[in-house]
Amino acid sequence: MQTNLPVDFLHWFLAIFPMILLLVLLVFYRWKAAEAGALGVLCTLLTAALAFQTPFNDLAVAAAKGAWDSVYILYVIWPAMILYLLGKASGAFDALGKEIVHFSKNELFLVLGFGWVFASFFQGISGFGTPVAVAAPILVALGVRPVYAVAMTLIGHAWANMFGTLAVSWIAASQVVDLQDPVTTAVQTAFLLAVVNLAGGLMLAWLYGRGPAIRHALPMIVVIAVIQGGGQIMLAGVSPVLSNFVPGTVALLVLYPLSKWSRYQNPIPADLTDRPAMEGNSDLFSAENKGADAPIMSLSMAMFPYVLLAAIAIPMLTITPLTNLSSAFSFGLPFPQVETGYGVLRGAEAAYSPLRPFNHPGFFLLITAAITFAVFSSKGYFDEWARRVEVPKFGSELVSAAVPTSMAVVSYLIMSRVLDHSGQTSVLAFGIQTFTPPLVFAFFANGIGIFGAFMTSSNTASNVLFSPLQSTIAGLENLPQSSIIAAQSAGGAIGNAIAPANAVLGTSTTGIVGKEGEILRLTLPWTLAIAVITGVLTVVLVSLT
């Protein structure tokens, strides 16, 4: 970009200050996501107008684009909430918790199975936060504390964000950057993500029961990590589009034979007494639980909505005629060209970020929710469960959870667009390039991707926003483009574990809206640790390349 942006410490600090403010309010002061987001938007608008010469018209265009971007996420949040509340109102989660013992009596195996493998599988076919919305409530049904359930799914599915949803983030990066060596870039990206995948499995076991849990789960973690991470490495250079979907599906199928291994078929070992992730001293397999009322439905019926979701999503995303048909209709909003006083130019667009409503995970969720409602109603589950427990009114519960969530998501996306249009994101990246030696920049390249995903809750958006800049800086620093883009892409995946909008999606579907800060306190240490590890590996890749 030919701009006159000031790359100095003052402007760099002003550019990053809204993100620091947002993180501090959420993590340390425990503000609710909507409240912190509103203040973050105000701060971003002020720094853009006062320090980055951004006219009101530019701010209005950026805010409108951010609001439109949020539609993609809200289109998942509302249907996912509906599906979650249907399961809650029908007694499906109660049945799931009681009937899952027939699959395995090992609590840790089930937590890893749903929080890591199942969540990764859904990222492979759906994305847009769907894994968090689907898997976190299941973990809660298994007895996991809601805050831990959301944190586990955020960490467990993070590795799959790059090549998941049929590699939409990879395609986005390929569209905005002229990749000099696509095969090497894809393989190096998959290598970094394999490390993220292994670290995710280990972290879930650690959150469940610290060292003893890791020792007990290690064989399972190694098997799944080899299938998921190793499989993605092998396929990335051949077919990036299928490099996550195929290993994710295989790993899900491998859970069945693993569950027949006595190590994971029987209850957890006696030394696993410290289980901070579980609700108090509750035990899914306790005598009290076994003596409880019989579940309303069978395990197969409790899992019906999720099997149905996969049955709908997979053909729609993999069968070309269906994909073309569902993608035929799209619409986007027109926006004029805008330019700041520092020369940051954003061109006019006749249809900005077109939405394909019938080829979106939200549509798959809506169909699933509609069919689930019809099936559960015909079997009388809602009426029977209402006779057992007091069920809140569906509409009021939906609105009370969805409105704060929606406000938070809109706030974060508006912040992202204002930062982009005012040039603040560019100042941050250029500042890093200006004041860091090549290998130091290589170490921090994944951090830029993490930052992008933190702000947008999307690996795709992070790649679109920062891949061109990363490629340019790689050229200026005489670094291999393939390694820097791989670091950016891996960082974009890692950042989903601390993305506030993703945390909001999890809190809204587990009934703990306002607990986003507590979740980030669990996911942030893992994110920082894996950022350091992938940073070191990026330096190694750069040196070898």
* Class of residue 54 by CB neighbours under 10 A (exposed 0-12, middle 13-18, buried 19+): buried
356 touches 329 (CB < 8 A) = yes
* Better-predicted residue by pLDDT, 84 or 533: 533
Q: Average of pLDDT values for 202-208?
A: 97
Task: Name the pairing type of β-strands 331-335 and 349-355.
Answer: antiparallel
* Annotated domain spans of the chain: 9-329+359-544
pLDDT in tens, 42-81: 999 999 999 999 999 999 999 999 899 888 778 887 888 8
pLDDT in tens, 435-486: 889 999 999 999 999 988 887 778 887 887 788 789 988 988 899 999 999 9
User: What per-residue confidence (pLDDT) applies to 297?
Assistant: 92
Tokens 């859904």 correspond to 122
User: ∠ at Cα 214 (146, 126), nearest 5°?
Assistant: 50
pTM over 0.85: no
Distance CA 497, CA 453 (A): 9
Contacts (Cβ under 8 Å, ≥6 apart) of 226: none
Q: Tell me: pLDDT of 85 over 90.
A: no
Q: Average of pLDDT values for 121-128?
A: 74
Q: Average of pLDDT values for 9-38?
A: 85
User: What per-residue confidence (pLDDT) applies to 124?
Assistant: 80
Q: Average of pLDDT values for 153-161?
A: 96
pLDDT band at residue 425 under the 50/70/90 scheme: confident
Per DSSP, the residues of 76-106 read HHHHHHHHHHHHHHHTHHHHHHHHGGGT-S-
Written as one letter, the residue type at 114 is: F
User: What per-residue confidence (pLDDT) applies to 287?
Assistant: 45
User: What per-residue confidence (pLDDT) applies to 108?
Assistant: 95
pLDDT in tens, 219-277: 999 999 999 999 999 999 988 888 998 899 899 889 989 999 999 998 898 888 889 99
User: What per-residue confidence (pLDDT) applies to 311?
Assistant: 85
The neighbouring-strand residues paired with 333 are 352
Distance CA 262, CA 436 (A): 53
User: What per-residue confidence (pLDDT) applies to 128?
Assistant: 64
Question: From its phi and psi, is residue 266 left (phi > 0), alpha (psi between -120 and 50) or beta?
Answer: beta
Q: Tell me: pLDDT of 433 over 90.
A: no
